[in-house]
């Protein structure tokens, strides 16, 4: 039996291999959260967040953060990029059962401005 993968999204996908994870710190929180980047396309990407992560209590659609992006090539420096939370979706039955996919969109590069931005 031939196992075929059928793409269900309405637009073609393109993997962007430049980044593999992000760090996110929030006001009034002493800790820094680190998330793996998943499901990348030209129009956005998702962060993989465990369903019991404290971060989910603080993330809301529409928030904008200055996230620190780590590159796959560790010899290159991390970048701070202004990023918006686009959606927060729970995966109840799929590959990432027990996780949320937090859709993000990079708005612009803020390497020269390292102050945190959020709503």
Instruction: Say which CATH number the domain at 60 has.
Output: 2.40.10.220
Give the CA distances from residue 5 to residues 2, 8, 80, 81, in Å, rounded to whole numbers and listed in that order. 10, 9, 35, 33
pLDDT of residue 43: 61
pLDDT of residue 28: 66
pLDDT of residue 53: 93
- C-beta separation of 45 from 104 below 8 A: yes
pLDDT one digit per residue (tens) for the chain, 119 residues: 444 434 444 444 343 568 889 999 877 666 789 999 986 666 668 999 999 999 999 899 999 999 999 998 889 999 999 999 999 999 787 788 899 999 998 887 655 443 334 43
d(CA 18, CA 8): 25
Domains identified in the chain, total number: 1
Which residues, 6+ apart, have CB-to-CB distance to 4 below 8 Å? none
Is residue 118, in this structure, part of any structural domain at all?
no
Predicted structure pTM score: 0.72
Is residue 114, in this structure, part of any structural domain at all?
no
Is residue 47, in this structure, part of any structural domain at all?
yes
Expressed as residue numbers, the domain containing 28 is: 19-109
Backbone angles phi, psi at 115, to 5 degrees: -85, 145
Is residue 29, in this structure, part of any structural domain at all?
yes
Query: What's the distance, CA 108 to chain centroid?
Result: 15
């Amino acid at each position: 039996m031939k196992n075929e993968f059928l793409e269900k999204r309405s637009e073609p996908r393109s993997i962007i291999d430049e980044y593999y994870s992000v760090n996110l710190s929030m006001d009034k929180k002493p800790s820094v959260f680190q998330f793996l980047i998943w499901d990348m396309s030209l129009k956005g990407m998702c962060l993989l967040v465990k369903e019991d992560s404290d971060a989910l209590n603080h993330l809301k659609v529409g928030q904008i953060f200055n996230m620190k992006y780590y590159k796959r090539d560790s010899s290159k420096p991390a970048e701070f990029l202004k990023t918006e939370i686009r959606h927060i979706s729970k995966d109840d039955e799929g590959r990432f059962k027990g996780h949320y996919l937090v859709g993000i969109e990079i708005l612009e590069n803020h390497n020269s401005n390292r102050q945190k931005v959020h709503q």
